[in-house]
C-alpha cells in the first residue's frame, strides 16, 4: 500500500465522521442561538477541513512563509555564517 492510497483511505473514512461531528456542533450552536460561538466554530472548522482535504495547501503556505523570511540570503540553517565566535572583541587593559 502506497502513501497515496493510505491518505485516500483515511480521508474517505475519517472525512464523513468529521463532517458529521462539525454538523452536530454547528446545529447545537444554532439551536441555542449562540451566534458568536457558531461563527467562531465555523471559521475553525473550515480551516481544519481545508487542511484535512487539501494538505498540499498547507505545504504551499509554509513554503511561501519560509521564502519570505529566508529572502535575506544565505542558506537554511545558517543564522549568521560570518560569526564564528572567535572574533570576540576584548576590552583594553
Taking only the tens of pLDDT, the chain with its 93 residues reads 676 777 778 788 888 898 899 999 999 999 999 999 999 999 999 988 888 888 777 777 778 888 888 776 555 555 555 555 555 556 666
Of 3, 11, 6, nearest in space to 50 by CA: 11
The DSSP call for residue 72 is: T
Amino acid at each position: 500500500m502506497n502513501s497515496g492510497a493510505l491518505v485516500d483511505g483515511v480521508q474517505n473514512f475519517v472525512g464523513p465522521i468529521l463532517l458529521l461531528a462539525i454538523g452536530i456542533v454547528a446545529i447545537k450552536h444554532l439551536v441555542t442561538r449562540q451566534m458568536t460561538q457558531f461563527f467562531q466554530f465555523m471559521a475553525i472548522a473550515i480551516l481544519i477541513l481545508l487542511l484535512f482535504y487539501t494538505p498540499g495547501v498547507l505545504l504551499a503556505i509554509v513554503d511561501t512563509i519560509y521564502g519570505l523570511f529566508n529572502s535575506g540570503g544565505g542558506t537554511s540553517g545558517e543564522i549568521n555564517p560570518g560569526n564564528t565566535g572567535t572574533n570576540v572583541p576584548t576590552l583594553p587593559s
